[in-house]
């Protein structure tokens, strides 16, 4: 049913449809509305779930780890510092192969303290073995939560997933969203069948000592499984369309890319602004396009290569940077094209950190910059006069 809802409420309503048995979270701006809503649903008897209050995100992540280890579907949500505090536990959740979904309201990382949007928090945990999806709008957040459970709980995969939504821009933005029927969700997401679970009748140990004789195999298995997840994401996205009647592209959305001479690659809500600029520039006769990256981990390198190989000039627009190097997506994309014949010119741009507004003018200037020399990590809209040597 179509409703006009806040992004956070959209997530809470979708999570309710997923029937998690345990929810644990710690409040943090701009995520708080999500778990506030879920707590209310549990208190009102609308959701048969245990809502466990904790004293930190480290504990929240540990509680959902334990819940999934006991064979129960679980959910958490966080943001920024909270996600970083969860980071240690997230590596454990992935290493123990426990599927669960965490929604991250993307927010900048301290210092200086900043509660506004960028992607530095989630890209910082990219190496943990957690699937990562980025949403452009609130409908996509809801759909990705469903997809994330489905893919993560697939017995071939059994991995956690992080669904990323831009803080404030999506969490506090109101949009019309199509909330699916319970019976549709039940069909797409049957009861959780854990690959392994803790059971007093049949005692097992998870996450035990991995000596040099076996540790490397556990990491190899994680890497291979991440790559296998690319296929599972593809089939899950087809099943999604069959059940819910709307498309959810598995890895990326191509927008006016077929004949594009210049294209931007970006993740998250900024894709909406870029689409508007693409439309305007197309009207002026400029062949520009967009590739909106949805699946960041696993990185769909082959699919991106095929989608972009005929675009001569590409800008990777990122709300994050690996300090002292480049933007993380830029690095991955460059690696995907390394050694290929007639590879496109790929430039990296850092934009919109800590909630700095990304205007249509900024996007247009990125397209114009592409005409110039290749740049690895150019900060856009930065007031260098405020920075002293």
Partner 1 sequence: MYAPLITKPGSSLERKTGSWRTNLRPKFLQKDCIACRLCYLICPEGCISGKEKNTFISDYNYCKGCGLCAGVCPKDDIEMVPEGETK
* Residues near partner 1 (CB under 8 A): 95-97, 158, 195-196, 203-209, 211, 214, 217-218, 220-221, 224-225, 228
Nearer to partner 1, 224 or 261 (CB): 224
Query: In the structure encoding, which two tokens stand for residue 37, read together?
Result: 């809503």
Question: What is the C-alpha R_g of the chain?
Answer: 21
Q: What is the closest distance, in whole angstroms, from the C-beta atom of residue 98 to partner 1 in the complex? A: 10
d(CA 106, CA 84): 12
Cβ contact 237:300 at 8 Å: no
Who contacts 346 (Cβ-Cβ below 8 Å, separation ≥6)? Answer: 314, 315, 316, 330, 333, 334, 337, 374
Residue 90's DSSP bridge partners are none
Q: What is the closest distance, in whole angstroms, from the C-beta atom of residue 336 to partner 1 in the complex? A: 23
Q: What is the closest distance, in whole angstroms, from the C-beta atom of residue 211 to partner 1 in the complex? A: 5
Assign 286 to helix, strand or coil: coil
Peptide bond before residue 150 is cis, with ω within 30 degrees of 0: no
Nearer to partner 1, 98 or 321 (CB): 98
Nearer to partner 1, 194 or 355 (CB): 194
Q: Are strands 252-255 and 288-293 parallel, antiparallel or unpaired?
A: antiparallel
Cβ contact 186:253 at 8 Å: no
Q: What is the closest distance, in whole angstroms, from the C-beta atom of residue 253 to partner 1 in the complex? A: 29
Nearer to partner 1, 7 or 95 (CB): 95
Q: What is the closest distance, in whole angstroms, from the C-beta atom of residue 155 to partner 1 in the complex? A: 10
Nearer to partner 1, 182 or 223 (CB): 223
Cβ contact 26:59 at 8 Å: yes
Distances (CA, A) of 175 to 81, 113, 134, 136: 27, 29, 17, 12
d(CA 21, CA 292): 33
Phi/psi region, residue 313 (left: phi>0; alpha: psi -120 to 50; beta: rest), is beta
Q: What is the closest distance, in whole angstroms, from the C-beta atom of residue 76 to partner 1 in the complex? A: 22
d(CA 141, CA 164): 8
Nearer to partner 1, 183 or 219 (CB): 219
Cβ contact 29:107 at 8 Å: yes
Nearer to partner 1, 129 or 355 (CB): 129
Q: What is the closest distance, in whole angstroms, from the C-beta atom of residue 97 to partner 1 in the complex? A: 6
Q: What is the closest distance, in whole angstroms, from the C-beta atom of residue 163 to partner 1 in the complex? A: 24
Residue 174's DSSP bridge partners are 6
Q: What is the closest distance, in whole angstroms, from the C-beta atom of residue 50 to partner 1 in the complex? A: 25
Query: In the structure encoding, which two tokens stand for residue 151, read together?
Result: 């893919």
Nearer to partner 1, 203 or 373 (CB): 203
Of 229, 307, 226, 227, which is closest to residue 265 (Cα–Cα)?
307
DSSP 88-110: HHHHHHHHTT---EEEEEE---S
Nearer to partner 1, 176 or 196 (CB): 196
Q: Where are the beta strands (DSSP E) in 54-140?
A: 74-78, 101-106, 131-134
Nearer to partner 1, 81 or 218 (CB): 218
Q: What is the closest distance, in whole angstroms, from the C-beta atom of residue 212 to partner 1 in the complex? A: 10
């Amino acid at each position: 049913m179509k409703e006009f809802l806040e992004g956070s409420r959209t997530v809470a309503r979708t999570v309710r449809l997923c029937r998690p048995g345990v929810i644990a979270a710690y409040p943090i701006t701009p995520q708080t509305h999500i778990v506030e809503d879920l707590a209310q649903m549990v208190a009102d008897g609308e959701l048969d779930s245990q809502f466990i209050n904790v004293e930190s995100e480290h504990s929240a992540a540990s509680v959902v780890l334990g819940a999934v280890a006991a064979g129960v579907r679980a959910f958490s949500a966080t943001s920024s510092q909270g996600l970083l505090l969860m980071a240690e536990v997230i590596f454990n959740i992935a290493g123990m192969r426990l599927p669960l979904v965490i929604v991250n309201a993307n927010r900048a990382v301290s210092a200086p303290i900043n509660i506004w949007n960028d992607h530095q928090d989630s890209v910082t945990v990219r190496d943990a073995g957690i699937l990562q999806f980025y949403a452009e709008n609130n409908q996509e957040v809801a759909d990705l939560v469903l997809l994330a459970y489905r893919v993560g709980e697939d017995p071939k995969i059994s991995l956690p997933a992080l669904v990323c939504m831009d803080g404030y821009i999506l969490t506090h933005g109101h949009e019309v969203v199509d909330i699916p029927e319970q019976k549709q969700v039940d069909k797409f997401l049957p009861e959780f069948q854990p690959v392994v679970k803790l059971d007093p009748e049949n005692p097992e140990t998870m996450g035990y000592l991995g000596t040099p004789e076996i540790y490397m195999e556990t990491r190899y298995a994680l890497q291979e499984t991440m790559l296998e997840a690319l296929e599972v994401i593809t089939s899950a996205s087809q099943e999604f369309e069959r059940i819910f009647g709307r498309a959810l592209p598995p890895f990326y959305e191509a927008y006016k890319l077929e004949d594009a001479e210049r294209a931007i690659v970006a993740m998250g809500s900024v894709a909406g602004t870029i689409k508007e600029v693409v439309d305007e520039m197309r009207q002026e006769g400029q062949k520009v396009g967009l590739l909106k990256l949805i699946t960041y981990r696993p990185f769909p390198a082959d699919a991106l290569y095929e989608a972009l190989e005929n675009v001569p000039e590409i800008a990777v627009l990122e709300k994050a940077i690996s300090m002292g190097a480049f933007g993380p997506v830029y690095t991955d994309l460059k690696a995907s094209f390394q050694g290929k014949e007639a590879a496109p010119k790929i430039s990296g741009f850092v934009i919109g950190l800590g909630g700095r507004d990304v205007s249509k003018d900024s996007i247009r200037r990125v397209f114009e910059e592409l005409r110039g020399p290749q740049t690895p990590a150019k900060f856009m809209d930065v007031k260098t006069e405020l920075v002293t040597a």
